[in-house]
């Protein structure tokens, strides 16, 4: 097969226009491989509610706006927005307001996101939407599969590293499992003339210091841009709840769960394609996963330097394994879960880089290697998350 493919280098792609979690409702789609994120999000609900309790209640005459940044295409984002809106309805009710504001929820992600699948999952809106103190509480409290939503909904395509909303528009920003995705692969990492060229690797797990420093700089530059944009869009008294991949090690070359997901069997599968003559080593080296698992210190440095937001709480939270399987002793099931997780978040980039046929070859090898090493993956694959609650003065 050799190098006879007509594809583009991920290094030259405009990620904003091409990158997304894998859409649709297939086996390897993000919608069907985000159960772990749902479990992790539920385990953080008490921290989210503490953040929501800090939000200033405005006059009900003003709309109350919630924005989910990096919403992707599954039901998780809908469930979490539902939690946020209902919690704020409860706060207004308990604060003695005889009227509730109109609620709006904006679901934002890159333009290539599968918004169609997302909006097909949205429950219908409350009939005759006119929220008052006499709102039908029973209808609000029905299970997610049967309830009607008490908010207007809209999609906002675009990168959260730039402005997305009008000035002083949003009360609450929520972003979970997204900020570890960089706006681009650092240029020096894919520049063959650079001393930070990531030769022989498709991720920074175990890479040298110059490469990891390039990733760290890209992460912190992106986070600073994110905070600047939000500081212009957020209303006074608003709050932000952020969750992204974190690491326990002070050493950025140890990317923890992300390293085990992308730096072992996924890396080895790329090497297999090179050794089998299916792709060149240069084609492999031009592919790098644009993820950085931050330390709390990396994160805090940017927030404190920006100065727009005060930190209410920031901690490293043990999320657990991304492998949600019925039988952990079934090596085949574990291997399948591993490859589907890997494919759901990186498949679009792989397809763009080497084409659908070679992508299929690659992920077959990922699955085979993961199946052989299933027991190790069940024991060792753990994700940690930085969870940050920020307030805007």
pLDDT in tens, 360-389: 999 999 999 999 999 999 999 889 999 999
User: Which two structure tokens, joined as six digits, stand for 109?
Assistant: 């992600």
Residue ranges per structural domain of the chain = 10-392
pLDDT for the residue 28: 64
Cross-strand pairs, 66: 105, 172
The confidence band for 132, taking pLDDT boundaries of 50, 70 and 90, is: very low
Is-above-0.85 flag for pTM? yes
pLDDT at 6 over 60: no
CB 98 within 8 A of CB 138: no
Q: Which residue has the higher pLDDT, 348 or 4?
A: 348
CA–CA dist 248, 300 (Å, integer):
15
**pLDDT tens digits, one per residue of 315-349:** 999 988 888 888 999 999 999 999 998 888 888 89
CB 126 within 8 A of CB 139: yes
pLDDT for the residue 129: 54
**pLDDT tens digits, one per residue of 158-212:** 999 999 999 999 999 999 999 999 999 999 998 899 999 999 999 988 888 899 9
CATH of 10-392 given 3.65.10.10, 3.20.20.70, 3.40.50.150, 3.10.450.30 = 3.40.50.150
Nearest CA to 55 out of 42, 40, 65 is that of 65
CA distances from 264 to 156, 257, 342 (A): 35, 11, 12
Q: Secondary structure of 148-165 in the HEC alphabet?
A: CECCEEEEEECCCCCCCC
**pLDDT tens digits, one per residue of 268-296:** 999 999 999 999 999 999 999 999 999 99
pLDDT at 136 over 80: no
Phi–psi pair at 174, nearest 5 degrees = -125, 130
pLDDT at 36 over 90: no
CA distance between the termini of the chain? 59
pLDDT for the residue 140: 47
CA–CA dist 4, 253 (Å, integer):
34
Walk across the sheet containing 152-157 and list its strands: 152-157, 103-109, 64-69, 170-176, 234-246, 383-392, 309-320
């Amino acid at each position: 097969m050799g190098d006879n493919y007509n594809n583009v280098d991920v290094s030259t792609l405009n990620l904003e226009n091409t990158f997304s979690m894998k859409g649709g409702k297939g086996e390897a789609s993000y919608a069907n491989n985000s159960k772990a994120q749902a479990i992790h999000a539920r385990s953080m609900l008490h921290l989210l509610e503490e953040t929501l309790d800090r939000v200033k209640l405005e006059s009900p005459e003003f709309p109350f706006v919630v924005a989910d940044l990096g919403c992707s295409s599954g039901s998780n984002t809908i469930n979490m927005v539902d939690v946020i809106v209902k919690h704020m309805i409860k706060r207004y009710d308990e604060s003695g307001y005889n009227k509730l504001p109109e609620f709006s929820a904006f679901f934002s992600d890159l333009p290539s996101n599968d918004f169609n699948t997302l909006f097909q999952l949205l429950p219908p809106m409350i009939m005759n939407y006119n929220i008052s103190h006499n709102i039908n509480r029973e209808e609000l409290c029905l299970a997610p599969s049967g309830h009607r939503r008490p908010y207007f909904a809209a999609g906002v395509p675009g990168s959260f590293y730039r402005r997305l909303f009008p000035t002083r528009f949003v009360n609450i920003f929520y972003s979970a499992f997204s900020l570890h995705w960089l706006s681009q692969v650092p240029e020096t990492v894919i520049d063959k003339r650079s001393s930070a060229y990531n030769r022989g690797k498709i991720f920074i797990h175990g890479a040298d210091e110059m490469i990891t420093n390039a990733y760290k700089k890209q992460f912190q530059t992106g986070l600073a841009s994110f905070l600047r944009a939000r500081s212009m869009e957020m209303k006074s008294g608003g709050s932000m709840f952020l969750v992204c991949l974190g690491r326990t090690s002070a050493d950025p070359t140890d990317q923890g769960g992300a390293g085990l997901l992308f730096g072992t069997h996924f890396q080895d599968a790329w090497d297999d394609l090179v050794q089998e003559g299916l792709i060149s080593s240069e084609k492999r080296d031009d592919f790098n996963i644009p993820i950085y698992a931050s330390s709390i210190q990396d994160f805090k440095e940017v927030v404190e330097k920006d100065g727009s937001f005060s930190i209410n709480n920031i901690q490293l939270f043990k999320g657990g394994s991304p492998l949600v399987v019925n039988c952990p002793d079934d090596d085949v099931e574990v291997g399948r879960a591993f490859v589907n997780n890997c494919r759901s978040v990186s498949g679009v980039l792989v397809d763009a880089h080497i084409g659908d046929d070679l992508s299929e070859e690659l992920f077959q090898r990922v699955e085979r290697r993961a199946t052989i090493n299933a027991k190790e993956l069940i024991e060792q694959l753990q994700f940690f998350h930085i969870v940050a609650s920020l307030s805007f003065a």
